[in-house]
Amino acid sequence: MTKKIDPEVGIHKSVPFEDYCAWDCVNNSSLSPALKSGKHFNHAKQNPREDTSAFQFGRLCHESRLEPSLVLDRYVVMPDLTDGILVNDKPAKKPRSTAEYKERVTAWEEQHADKQVVTLDDYDALKGVLNALWENIRTREWFSSAGEAELSLVWIDPITNLKCKARLDKVVHSQLIADLKTSRDASRFESSMLDYGYDRQAAFYLDGYRQLTGKSAQFAFAVVESAAPHGIRAAPVSPEVIVRGRQQYREALAVLAAQKATGEASDYQQPEAFDLPRWAKQTTVTLYQNKKPIEVN
């Protein structure tokens, strides 16, 4: 288990991502389970989420665009290792399924054990993402303008006194916090904001930034599709998004503050009775307003 670090309050530059992850502070990702209960927060903290290929590719895109000087030290592209593989003295129809190919891959990875391996497919996708970010007027301006990339913030929440942290992708002219997201379908990002707590992230980051700098900024998302044609949607978030996100993170921090004060992890609040969700109630009224309900003895 990674040793936790208690960082100083302030704005930190050039902090490796691994060190930032070790900071023992509340971050936006940890607030999602806290919105369910203290028990869910504790479980998620003790069982970190799996580092999937999608997360790995997202980090590769982030670092390639925001910290390109570090990429060559961290990553290596796996070459095509299928050349010359034979089966029964004939070129293999499926060379990647052969034992020889797997042996070649194992040997190559051992030679580059100090770096993260990037497949040729991911390398091609990365080039597409970077080209798309450069061709889009907004993302070219945001990520090429003067400003700080990958700033790590640590602040004390003034209401709960909890120590919080955030990692900002890019602060543009001290006025705009631009956050880069990779997605399979950028057209559905509004739904993704709610599904993954990105509205909460925007409010949490803005309030932390203001707490440390005294400045009010705007928050924007740049969403680029990980697969061709690498469509992009980039825009600031609305005030309504920030209001909802702030309400969400304040509720989660309240759960954690109560747990810290009592030493007890909360469970779900118990309903008086299970009822239909709001959308289902409206549907029921619309469909059955002229029908007598069926009574069950």
**If pLDDT is split at 50, 70 and 90, which confidence band does 2 have?**
low
Q: Per-residue pLDDT for 285 more than 90?
A: no
Residue 88 inside a domain? The answer is no
Query: Do residues 248 and 28 lie in contact, with contact meaning Cβ atoms separated by under 8 Å?
Result: no
Among the residue ranges 1-5, 124-128, 240-244, the one predicted with the least confidence is: 1-5
Residue 290 is predicted with a pLDDT of 55
Kindly report the three-state secondary structure assignment for every residue of the chain.
Answer: CCCCECCCCEEECCCCHHHHHHECCECHHHHHHHCCCHHHHHHHHHCCCCCCHHHHHHHHHHHHHHCHHHHHHHEEECCCCCCCCEECCEECCCHHHCHHHHHHHHHHHHHCCCCEEECHHHHHHHHHHHHHHHHCHHHHHHHHCCEEEEEEEEEECCCCCCEEEEEEEEEECCCEEEEEEEECCHHHHHHHHHHCCHHHHHHHHHHHHHHHHCCCCEEEEEEEECCCCCCEEEEECCHHHHHHHHHHHHHHHHHHHHHHHHCCCCCCCCCCCCCCCHHHHHHHHHHHCCCCCCCCC
The span from the CA of 191 to the CA of 174, in Å, is 28
User: What would the pLDDT profile of 155-173 be if each residue is shown by its tens digit?
Assistant: 999 999 999 999 999 999 8
Residue 265 is predicted with a pLDDT of 92
Q: Per-residue pLDDT for 126 more than 90?
A: yes
- Mean pLDDT over residues 277-291, rounded? 64
Residue 4 is predicted with a pLDDT of 83
Tally of structural domains, the chain:
1
Residue 239 inside a domain? The answer is yes
User: What would the pLDDT profile of 214-273 be if each residue is shown by its tens digit?
Assistant: 999 999 999 999 999 999 999 999 999 999 999 999 999 999 999 999 999 999 989 999
Q: Per-residue pLDDT for 297 more than 70?
A: no
Residue 135 inside a domain? The answer is yes
Residue 173 is predicted with a pLDDT of 87
Question: pTM to 2 decimals?
Answer: 0.85
Residue 97 inside a domain? The answer is no
Residue 234 inside a domain? The answer is yes
Percent of the chain clearing pLDDT 90 (strictly above): 70
Residue 54 is predicted with a pLDDT of 86
Backbone angles phi, psi at 253, to 5 degrees: -65, -35
Residue 288 is predicted with a pLDDT of 53
Query: Do residues 234 and 189 lie in contact, with contact meaning Cβ atoms separated by under 8 Å?
Result: no
- Mean pLDDT over residues 122-137, rounded? 95
Q: Per-residue pLDDT for 292 more than 60?
A: no
Dmax over CA atoms of the chain, in Å, equals 77
The enclosing domain of 236 has a CATH number of 3.90.320.10
Long-range contacts of 242-247 (CB under 8 A, 24+ apart): 242/199, 242/202, 242/203, 242/206, 243/203, 244/199, 244/203, 245/197, 245/198, 245/199, 245/200, 245/201, 245/202, 245/203, 245/204, 246/200, 246/203, 246/204, 246/207
Q: Per-residue pLDDT for 284 more than 90?
A: no
Residue 287 inside a domain? The answer is no
- Mean pLDDT over residues 129-137, rounded? 96
**If pLDDT is split at 50, 70 and 90, which confidence band does 295 have?**
low
Residue 286 is predicted with a pLDDT of 54
Residue 46 inside a domain? The answer is yes
- Mean pLDDT over residues 48-54, rounded? 83
- Mean pLDDT over residues 140-145, rounded? 93
Percent of the chain clearing pLDDT 70 (strictly above): 94
Q: Per-residue pLDDT for 116 more than 90?
A: no
Residue 22 inside a domain? The answer is yes
Residue 211 is predicted with a pLDDT of 96
Query: Do residues 159 and 177 lie in contact, with contact meaning Cβ atoms separated by under 8 Å?
Result: no
- Range(s) of the domain holding residue 202: 10-69+128-260
Residue 289 is predicted with a pLDDT of 55
Residue 6 is predicted with a pLDDT of 93
